[in-house]
Amino acid sequence: MRHTIAVLVENKPGVLARVASLFRRRGFNIESLTVGTTERNDLSRMTIVVEGDDRVVEQVTKQLNKLIETIKVSEISEGSVERELCLIRVHAPPERRGEIVELTNIFRARIVDVSRDSFIIEVTGDEDKVNAFIDLMRQYGIKELARTGKVAMVRGNKR
Amino acid sequence: MRAADALVKALEMEGVEVVFGIPGGAILEVYDALYDSGIQHITTRHEQGATHAADGYARASGRVGVAFATSGPGATNTVTGITNAYMDSSPIVVFTGQVPTSLIGNDAFQEADISGITMPVTKHNYLVTNPKDLLRTVKEAFYIAATGRPGPVLVDLPKDVTLADIEFDYPKRISLPGYKPKTDGHPKQIKRAAELVMESERPIILAGGGVIISNASKELVELAETIPAFVVTTLMGKGSIPENHPLCLGFVGMHGSKYANYAVSESDLIIAVGCRFSDRTTGNLEKFAPDAKIVHIDIDPAEIGKNVMVDVPIVGDAKKVLARLKKYIQYKQRKAWEDKVNEWRRKYPLKYSPDGFKPQYVVERVCEIMPDAIVTTEVGQNQMWAAQFFKVRYPRQFISSGGLGTMGFGFPAAMGAQVAFPEKTVIDIAGDGSFFMNIQELATCVKYEIPVKVLVLNNGYLGMVRQWQELFYKERYSATCIGCEKTGFEAIAKGFGAVGMTVESPSDVDDALKEAKDIDAPVVIDFRVDYQANVFPMVPPGAALNEIIDEE
Ligand SMILES: Cc1ncc(C[n+]2csc(CCOP(=O)(O)OP(=O)(O)O)c2C)c(N)n1
Ligand SMILES: [Mg+2]
């Protein structure tokens, strides 16, 4: 099973290395990891997607909590807001551009760069949506692809 | 004030009395500052010796041990000592010199990324890049090392940082928003644990090193007597209850007694305190204490539920939780269980064949002649014989490398313990192989008049490995004969300026021990014991605790 964990950490040098080192040492598998700043400039937020059963997630959570620089660890359950951004360079010969533009519109994605025989398309959404869009683009030939990994937030009022 | 001077002053304010270490280029400023200070510095002969000595000092005294090393090779030499302290939750702070900040990352002379290297084996570590952060860092380092579940902290100090000019403004408070160890234990869970105790017919307490670290021995014994419950310990928990106490069954696990292992296997409730259910303690986990409910008390939430499923988790400090738990418990006699355990105790005592010159005999005599000595051990058969036959009387008396199993730990650890307690007899029960791993510290003991007694159970083999080869590898003794019968430990000791003795027969053991005990100088005794002696009983790898086997 995949779980999404949000970790609030002090914004200090070496914190990312510490978290990465912990995952490697304890044999936890990171599916994706994003780091960025938060509403406070002394804190960063990591969103980590891990693969494992409930026991693994419990250990991940407890071990992350043990790091001195960790302020808070929360598991983000189903039904929260989850987003990922993906850039796709897709092969786009003149005769197929119409179709690609149409699909891009349906997915509320955007074409952000146009060159002689390719587009760069930006698509944002939850994982399923991004996956579906990528699948559709395959028929045209994907030349390059970059995903940010997931960021997530629980719905409703902040506790 | 020069930052190095401020550092030394900060160490004084932390109550540091002694530092173990070796100087070098990158840490010269700090050593220069130390020159004017009241802090004693013991120059070891290897940085591994310094970190183990700081560790031994910490375990014996309960205070934070401190070690210094220079950058590069000095720093990398501390890694085993740091890891050892990490595995056994021992509070030490290690300061290393580092190349100047302007050179970091350039592969400068004697540069090693020690904060990167030690990240997974420290409780926390620091690379101080701004001199303004130095004093806050020192304050935090000592606080983190000593509180919660203790552990090693490393502080890496670039040369320009120690040279800088700073205000001496030692912080009084600590602000670590992400670090707040829970010590109280949840009242509901404590009550729930008490209910299980009252329901239980076959309760047992499993006491680990955490009981000793938290100075909770008194509370442990009181709880055991109130229930009443037999107590088994882990290797690290030896001394948490006096081993001559009628409720104490000694240590459990791979080489624990049969009766301790049977008692755990047949219990219906295990109250585990300050232990982590390591594989050496539990045997085959699937078959571990099948009928038992488990109450697990530990200050580290991550230990609870890590290896075994727990019925009642209690996160807190052993001392506080045990005292509270006792309040909810009434004495209840459990005659059938008591009789059963005592019957096992009568039927299956620890034993060994008395003929020849047996290492177990030496340990038994040591226990008789120096019952109050602080005992450290090396690793291997010597360690297990020491654990089986030295009956520990008080907490912090028995010091051994449990988690990492570091050969070469015992001797420098004994040195550290002796520095903490100059008036006590401190002995290292050693193996010939292990002693060689830090034998150079004999020079340190001689130089600083640290009268540690090293009792080498010299079997000429890496004995524990030889034992496994005998039992599980068809007697193919690959690479385990180290031929120390040809090594003259007596002459080596004398060469270092220490006292050396050789004992070749059991009839000379007492005289040698009595003589050594009264010598106010480091002593090495080379006991030429039978090399075939093995450690039994034994839970074979993969077996359950109650599948423990004897010699035949
Ligand atoms: C640093 C280190 N290297 C290797 C080992 C593996 N090992 C465990 S016990 C042992 C033999 C120890 O020999 P000795 O000190 O003579 O003790 P004995 O078992 O003979 O009493 C070895 C090599 C270890 N524990 N530590
Ligand atoms: Mg040996």
> How remote is the C-alpha of A73 from its chain's centroid?
17
Q: How far is CA B187 from CA B61, B269, B320, in A?
A: 31, 19, 11
CA of B483 relative to ligand 1 center, distance in Å: 14
Residues in A 39-78 with any Cβ partner in B closer than 8 A: 55, 58-59, 62-63, 65-71
Answer whether B428 contacts ligand 1 (Cβ < 6 A).
no
Q: Using one digit for the tens of pLDDT, what is the confidence trace for B360-398?
A: 999 999 999 999 999 999 999 999 999 999 999 999 999
d(CA B512, CA B501): 8
Residue B347 known to be catalytic: no
Neighbours of B373 (CB within 10 A): 20
Say what percent of chain B tops pLDDT 90: 99
Q: Using one digit for the tens of pLDDT, what is the confidence trace for B12-40?
A: 999 999 999 999 999 999 999 999 999 99
Q: Do B302 and A17 touch (CB under 8 A)?
A: no
The two tokens of residue A73 are: 């660890």
How confident is the model at residue B434, as a pLDDT?
98
How confident is the model at residue A79, as a pLDDT?
74
Task: Look up the ipTM and state it.
Answer: 0.89
d(CA B181, CA B184): 10
Residue B172 known to be catalytic: no
How confident is the model at residue B466, as a pLDDT?
98
Q: Is A10 on the interface with B (CB under 8 A)?
A: yes
How confident is the model at residue B216, as a pLDDT?
98
Q: Do B119 and A17 touch (CB under 8 A)?
A: yes
How confident is the model at residue B456, as a pLDDT?
98
Dump the DSSP string for B51-84.
HHHHHHHHHHHSSPEEEEE-STHHHHTTHHHHHH
Write the DSSP symbol of residue B521: S
Q: Do A55 and B301 touch (CB under 8 A)?
A: no
Answer whether B499 contacts ligand 1 (Cβ < 6 A).
no
* Nearest C-alpha neighbor of B427 from the set B480, B463, B390: B390
Q: Using one digit for the tens of pLDDT, what is the confidence trace for B415-444?
A: 999 999 999 999 999 999 999 999 999 999
B403-442 burial: b if 16+ Cβ within 10 Å, else e:
bbbbbbbbbbbbbbbbbbeeebbbbbbbbbbbbbbbbbbb
Q: Do A66 and B302 touch (CB under 8 A)?
A: yes
Confidence check: pLDDT of B503 > 60? yes
The two tokens of residue B62 are: 């309960």
Residue B159 known to be catalytic: yes
Domain ranges of chain A: 2-78, 81-154
Section B103-116 average pLDDT: 97
How confident is the model at residue B484, as a pLDDT?
73
Domains and CATH numbers, chain B: 3-163 (3.40.50.970), 187-347 (3.40.50.1220), 359-528 (3.40.50.970)
Which CATH architecture does the domain made up of A81-154 adopt? 2-Layer Sandwich (3.30)
Q: Is B301 on the interface with A (CB under 8 A)?
A: yes
Q: Is B181 on the interface with A (CB under 8 A)?
A: no
* Nearest C-alpha neighbor of B274 from the set B325, B215, B328: B215
Section B72-83 average pLDDT: 98
- Residue of B254, B464, B501, B538 with catalytic role: B464
How confident is the model at residue B489, as a pLDDT?
96
How confident is the model at residue B387, as a pLDDT?
98
Section B97-102 average pLDDT: 98
Q: Chain B closest CA to A63's CA: distance in Å?
A: 6
Q: Do B119 and A21 touch (CB under 8 A)?
A: yes
Residues of A in contact with B123 (CB under 8 A): 68
- Residue of B14, B29, B47, B140 with catalytic role: B47
Ligand nearest to the CA of B410: 1
Section B506-511 average pLDDT: 98
Q: How far is CA B300 from CA B89, B313, B314, B417, in A?
A: 11, 11, 10, 26
pTM: 0.96
Q: Do B119 and A18 touch (CB under 8 A)?
A: yes
Q: Using one digit for the tens of pLDDT, what is the confidence trace for B302-334?
A: 999 999 999 999 999 999 999 999 999 999 999
Going by pLDDT thresholds of 50, 70 and 90, the confidence category of residue A95 is very high
Answer whether B457 contacts ligand 1 (Cβ < 6 A).
yes
- How many interface pairs between A and B have CB atoms less than 8 angstroms apart? 36
User: B306: which residues sit within 8 A by CB, 6+ positions away?
Assistant: A59, B276, B277
- Residue of B9, B12, B110, B440 with catalytic role: B110
Q: Is B306 on the interface with A (CB under 8 A)?
A: yes
- Topology of domain A2-78, per CATH? Alpha-Beta Plaits (3.30.70)
| Residue of B115, B124, B136 for testing the chain A interface, max A β-carbons within 10 Å | B124
Q: Using one digit for the tens of pLDDT, what is the confidence trace for B516-532?
A: 999 999 999 999 999 99
* Nearest C-alpha neighbor of A45 from the set A123, A148, A151, A137: A151
Confidence check: pLDDT of B270 > 90? yes
Least reliable range by pLDDT among A22-36, A80-94, B96-110, B219-233 = A22-36
> How remote is the C-alpha of B528 from its chain's centroid?
27
Dump the DSSP string for B441-463.
HHHHHHHTT---EEEEEE-SB-H
The two tokens of residue B408 are: 């070469």
Answer whether B147 contacts ligand 1 (Cβ < 6 A).
no
d(CA B48, CA B261): 35
Section B448-470 average pLDDT: 98
* Nearest C-alpha neighbor of B465 from the set B550, B552, B384, B548: B384
Ligand nearest to the CA of B480: 1
CA of B304 relative to ligand 1 center, distance in Å: 30
Q: Using one digit for the tens of pLDDT, what is the confidence trace for A100-138?
A: 999 999 999 999 999 999 999 999 999 999 999 999 999
Rg (CA), chain A: 19
Going by pLDDT thresholds of 50, 70 and 90, the confidence category of residue B483 is confident
Q: What is the dihedral of CA B463, B465, B467, B471, to 10 degrees?
A: -170
d(CA B255, CA A50): 38
Q: Chain A closest CA to B185's CA: distance in Å?
A: 17
How confident is the model at residue A159, as a pLDDT?
56
Under a CB-based contact definition with an 8 Å cutoff, are residues B219 and B375 in contact? no
Least reliable range by pLDDT among A49-63, B278-292, B391-405 = A49-63
Rg (CA), chain B: 24
Domains A2-78 and A81-154 share a fold: yes
Section B165-177 average pLDDT: 96
CA of B62 relative to ligand 1 center, distance in Å: 27
Section A59-79 average pLDDT: 92
Which residue of B464, B489, B527, B536 sits with most ligand 1 atoms within 8 Å of its CB, as the best mutation to test the pocket? B464
